[in-house]
């Protein structure tokens, strides 16, 4: 409805396709259910895009929603670093990462590196449901004219 009214289109950094964005979906163990519920609620919109997820999170999303999701390694086995590489290579448009600030993890360094690279390359990032809702409901999410500046990492 909104797309028809405003003639909005999608753009993907990865494919150059004006109709699709590349979106990463990641969650720590205590936040996986929150992310899966969010994805299920927004599956109509998300189904229009290229979705990537770290292993266990992605399997839960596929199981609940039936969405087509490209699975990466589990976060603790290098999935966070795979996402960082996708960002630095211009293959990711959005990062939806529901992380748990109260639970220390052995791969905290990887989590910090992923968040750092997302900021460095100016990737819109949501670390909780409220921010994810704001991103996906923004008119900028639904327009081809919005292409964030590349950030410092592309100098």
Task: Say which of 18, 29, 74, 80 is annotated catalytic.
Answer: 80
Residues with Cβ within 8 Å of 123's Cβ and at least 6 positions away in sequence, in order, are 87, 92, 93, 94, 95, 148, 151
Q: How many CB atoms lie within 10 A of CB 45?
A: 17
Q: What is the CA angle 29-40-90, rounded to 5?
A: 75
Q: From CA 87, how far away is CA 152, in angstroms rounded? A: 12
Q: Is 100 a catalytic residue?
A: no
- Supply the residues annotated as catalytic: 80
């Amino acid at each position: 409805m909104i797309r028809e009214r405003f003639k909005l289109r999608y753009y993907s950094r990865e494919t150059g396709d004006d109709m699709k964005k590349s979106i990463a979906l990641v969650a720590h163990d205590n936040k996986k259910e929150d992310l899966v519920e969010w994805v299920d609620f927004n599956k109509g919109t998300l189904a229009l895009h290229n979705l990537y997820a770290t292993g266990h999170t992605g399997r839960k999303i596929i199981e609940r929603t039936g969405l087509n999701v490209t699975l990466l390694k589990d976060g603790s086995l290098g999935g966070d670093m795979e996402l960082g590489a996708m960002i630095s290579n211009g293959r990711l448009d959005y990062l939806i990462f529901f992380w748990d600030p109260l639970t220390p993890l052995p791969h905290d360094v990887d989590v910090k590196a992923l968040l750092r690279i997302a900021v460095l390359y100016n990737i819109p990032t949501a670390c909780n449901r409220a921010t994810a809702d704001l991103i996906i409901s923004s008119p900028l999410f639904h327009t081809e004219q919005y292409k964030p500046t590349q950030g410092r990492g592309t100098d």
